[in-house]
Structure formats: C-alpha cells, structure tokens
C-alpha cells in the first residue's frame, strides 16, 4: 500500500495516511461542495488498510471548520477504522480542537458517543503555528 498524501486547499484538509506506521491525520478545513468525491480516496485507502492493519492504528483529526457533508464522511472514516479494533489491533482516535472552539470539541464528543469509541481530546493553541504544523506532520 502506498502513502496517501493530499495537500490542503482553501476548502479541503491536509491528509496524511501512512500504512507502515499506522498513523493517519486529517487537518484543516473541510467544506468542499462535493465532500464525497474528496473523501473517496480515503475510503478506498482505509478499505485496503483494514485487510492488514498495524497492531496500533492512530488517527489524528484537527478541523478548523467542517460542514455537514464532511461530517458524514469523517463519521464513515471512523466507522470503517473501528472495524480494525480487536484483541490484537487497537485504534486510537485523537480529536484536536482550537482551545476556544467549543463547537469542534462538541462534534468530537458527539462522534465518540455515536461510535461508542474512546477519543483522546487535545486542545490546541491556534495562535501557535509550530503546534499546528507539528500536528499536520504527525508530531502532536
């Protein structure tokens, strides 16, 4: 499987999916007019990944903004990834949000409750560009 990297645009997030490390990250804004078309390659990548997942899969999500269509796609991503959970394969979801953004934080809480998956919540100082860049690069 190949690394899936998608550079961000004004309305689509940065995506970095790497099979070898079991690390997936999505960050930025997501309000494309055709969210399903944007997320389709991510769905396909995850479907392939599920066949041979790492022992630990970690997904980091940090949205500055996302619309309803994107929320449905993000839900589908997490639902697909929940299928890798087993006694031997663990899934860790890290939901990051700007310290002053209660809406994004609440969206993560809602996803966690709906999917019945534990999330780790991390408040990000959105005035700290280094912290945001580290998240995009998978360091947070």
User: Mean pLDDT for the chain?
Assistant: 90
User: Quick one: pLDDT band at residue 140, thresholds 50, 70, 90?
Assistant: very low
70 pLDDT more than 80: yes
Give domain limits for the chain.
4-136
Which CATH code of 1.10.10, 3.30.750, 1.10.1740, 2.160.20 fits the domain covering 4-136? 3.30.750
17 pLDDT more than 90: yes
Residues 49-71, mean pLDDT to the nearest whole number: 95
Question: What digits encode the pLDDT tens for the residues 74-132?
Answer: 999 999 999 887 778 899 999 999 999 999 999 999 999 999 998 999 999 877 666 55
CA 42 to each of CA 45, 69, 102, 106: distance values in angstroms, whole numbers, following the listed order? 5, 15, 27, 24
71 in Cβ contact with 36 (< 8 Å): no
């Amino acid at each position: 499987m190949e690394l899936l990297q998608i550079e961000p645009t004004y309305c689509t997030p940065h995506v970095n999916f790497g099979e070898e490390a079991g690390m997936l990250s999505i960050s930025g804004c997501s309000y494309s007019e055709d969210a399903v078309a944007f997320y389709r390659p991510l769905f396909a990548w995850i479907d392939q990944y599920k066949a041979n997942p790492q022992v630990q899969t970690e997904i980091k999500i940090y949205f500055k903004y996302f619309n309803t269509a994107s929320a449905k796609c993000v839900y589908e991503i997490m639902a697909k990834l929940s299928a890798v959970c087993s006694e031997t394969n663990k899934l860790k979801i890290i939901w990051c949000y700007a310290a002053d953004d209660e809406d994004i934080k609440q969206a993560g809480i809602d996803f966690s409750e709906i999917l019945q998956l534990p999330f780790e919540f991390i408040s990000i100082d959105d005035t700290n560009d280094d912290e945001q860049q580290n998240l995009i690069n998978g360091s947070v």
